[in-house]
Structure 1
Amino acid sequence: MQASKALGQNFLLDEQLLDRIAAIPGPLEGQPAFEVGPGPGGLTRAILRAGAKLVAVERDRRCLPALAELDAAFPGQLRVLSGDAMEVDARAEAGEGAHVIANLPYNVGTALLIGWLSAEWSPLPWWSSLTLMFQMEVAERIVAKPGGDHYGRLAVLSQWRSDARIAMKVHRSAFTPPPKVMSAVVHITPRPAPEGVQLKHLERLTAAAFGQRRKMLRQSLKGLPGALDALAAVGIDAQRRAETVSVEEFVEVARVLGGL
């Protein structure tokens, strides 16, 4: 089966590599799992071999016969949803505590990640972990630390109430067809959210700060009501640039913003 450019498909077929990816979340025996874009089912098979109870969402109907074969080979473990993952309620379908494991289609990967990171935390989200394949540049943006070119809004939103790391780098030659760039598997685990901080305030703050990342904060944040007062309240110099502000500092500013 030929991968579809329109759907952002690049298939992984190396079974040893796929087993290593499926092992990243830890033991999956009897655990709920959720996969986006299984394609012909390479990673799907590895997740099922690990013993998970898997819900997989596939938009490409050409893949459904191969996934039906996996359903027959692993009775009671796999449920396939035919549709667009952007329109699926993953929490309702996969259930509480699910491990999300996916070689994400490149054209919707970041949007899906932001959706999962925006889930309700009470005190943790519905998912237990995210184990996701991205293009290397996106992976580096997710795990970036302050001061580097990759550090930005995605890093802050990924790390303010989660731990994110690159668990594995994957050479382009491992895919069919080979993409133009290297890829990496990012593993994200949630932790209790800082008290008194709302996501909406952090989103507005980081959107403004990184929207003009080369400008000083006094310039980039002047259009956000209360932001400069919040900076002063937590002792952050308004002449700094967004790329120098740590995740923890952004969280403190967002906390003050929420109280104004």
Structure 2
Amino acid sequence: MAELPPLRKVIARHGLSASKALGQNFLFDEQLLDRIAAVPGDLAGKQVLEVGPGPGGLTRALLRAGARVTAIEMDRRCLPALAELEDAFPGQLRVIEGDALKLDHAELMGGEPFAVLSNLPYNVGTALFVRWLAGAKGSENAWPPLWTSLTLMFQQEVAQRIVAQPGGSAYGRLAVLTQWRSRAKLAMKVHRSAFTPPPKVMSAIVHVEPAEMPEGVDARLLERLTEAAFGQRRKMLRQSLKGMPGAVAALEAIGIDPQRRAETVTVGEFVTLARALTAEG
């Protein structure tokens, strides 16, 4: 195992500082980083995709765990520090300069299964997560995806929305899109003081694994359905879904009261509704 200088020294030597514009917050606690890397289980020899490694704090932990890491970084200032990690762990790290939102991740990983572990930049975290949940572009109904798990750092509020259950204010579209064909859990909370600079909010690690996909449901239709239902979450379903042809009639046909609001509808009920609309289409 390579002997590496403390991350703080690396950052100081390269004159790095967290960019607010890029949503960066650096983690220095090696023990915490090792705990995050351990969440998905044994990574020895496995492919891992990391988005936004920054100076390489989590990257170090992944490499120590024996992972083969592909890291996407758009901040050129961090590339020299990451290059040092490439030298310290020969053959284990590949750094791609670019925007993760514009890259084909499956193609980047050679079409082979991979785990995703990232301290995601706050400004693109949710967009990337929803993209991974959707599966491969153009083949949303092909499931399971190439990723075997997602272990991601979010603002705690976003993390709670991902694992939320019906009936509360946190429950919404993100929960349904996650839980209808995946298993999600809150793996750990991370205090704001662990970061440099400390963000204004608490953070949390969410771990997501693909589950069996319900039969007879079109993924794109479910996305449109939840967007309509939660886009006007204070309104009754008969109002929020009236723009979707056949939706209100389908509610009554499957026994869901159209006077209910979206936040009371379970993931299973949304799936049943989407299946009914898929069959009609």
**TM-score, normalised by the number of residues in structure 2:** 0.91
1:191 shift after superposition: 1.1
Q: Which residue of structure 1 aligns with residue 130 of structure 2?
A: 114
- 1:25–1:129 Cα contact (<8 Å) kept: yes
1:121 shift after superposition: 5.4
Confirm or deny that 1:136 pairs with 2:156: yes
Confirm or deny that 1:102 pairs with 2:118: yes
Q: 1:98 to 1:21 in 2, by over 3 A?
A: same
Q: Which residue of structure 1 aligns with residue 12 of structure 2?
A: none
Q: 1:42 aligns with which of 49, 57, 78?
A: 57
- 2:141–2:218 Cα contact (<8 Å) kept: no
One-letter identity of the residue aligned with 2:119: N
1:93 shift after superposition: 1.2
Q: Which residue of structure 1 aligns with residue 257 of structure 2?
A: 237
One-letter identity of the residue aligned with 1:61: R
SS in 2 for 1:45: helix
1:233 shift after superposition: 2.0
Please give the alpha-carbon distance, in whole angstroms, between the structure 2 residues aligned to 1:191 and 1:106. 26
Q: Which residue of structure 2 aligns with residue 163 of structure 1?
A: 183
SS in 2 for 1:194: coil
SS in 2 for 1:157: helix
Q: Which residue of structure 2 aligns with residue 248 of structure 1?
A: 268
Q: Which residue of structure 2 aligns with residue 125 of structure 1?
A: 145
Q: 1:195 aligns with which of 186, 211, 215?
A: 215
- 1:121–1:192 Cα contact (<8 Å) kept: no
Please give the alpha-carbon distance, in whole angstroms, between the structure 1 residues aligned to 2:229 and 2:105. 31
Superposed CA RMSD in Å reads 0.9
Confirm or deny that 1:148 pairs with 2:168: yes
- 1:79-126 CA deviation, whole Å, 9 max, x = no partner? 000011111111111242200000000000000001000014544101
SS in 2 for 1:27: coil
Q: 2:76 aligns with which of 61, 71, 78?
A: 61
Q: Which residue of structure 2 aligns with residue 26 of structure 1?
A: 41
Q: Which runs of 4+ in 1 moved over 4 A?
A: none
Please give the alpha-carbon distance, in whole angstroms, between the structure 1 residues aligned to 2:58 and 2:145. 24
Please give the alpha-carbon distance, in whole angstroms, between the structure 2 residues aligned to 1:96 and 1:125. 10
Q: 1:87 aligns with which of 71, 77, 102?
A: 102
Confirm or deny that 1:51 pairs with 2:71: no
Please give the alpha-carbon distance, in whole angstroms, between the structure 1 residues aligned to 2:156 and 2:234. 23
Confirm or deny that 1:223 pairs with 2:259: no
Deviates more, 1:15-24 or 1:117-126: 117-126
One-letter identity of the residue aligned with 1:103: N
- 1:7–1:107 Cα contact (<8 Å) kept: yes
Q: Which residue of structure 2 aligns with residue 205 of structure 1?
A: 225
Q: Which residue of structure 1 aligns with residue 10 of structure 2?
A: none
Please give the alpha-carbon distance, in whole angstroms, between the structure 2 residues aligned to 1:68 and 1:146. 46
Please give the alpha-carbon distance, in whole angstroms, between the structure 1 residues aligned to 2:69 and 2:142. 24
One-letter identity of the residue aligned with 1:141: R
Confirm or deny that 1:180 pairs with 2:203: no
Please give the alpha-carbon distance, in whole angstroms, between the structure 2 residues aligned to 1:204 and 1:102. 28
Task: Give ranges in structure 2 of 5+ residues lacking alignment.
Answer: 1-15
- 2:141–2:219 Cα contact (<8 Å) kept: no
- 1:45-65 CA deviation, whole Å, 9 max, x = no partner? 000110111100000001001
Task: Give ranges in structure 1 of 5+ residues lacking alignment.
Answer: none
Please give the alpha-carbon distance, in whole angstroms, between the structure 2 residues aligned to 1:51 and 1:93. 20
1:31 shift after superposition: 0.5
Report the number of matched residues: 260
Q: 1:59 to 1:7 in 2, by over 3 A?
A: same
- 2:42–2:65 Cα contact (<8 Å) kept: yes
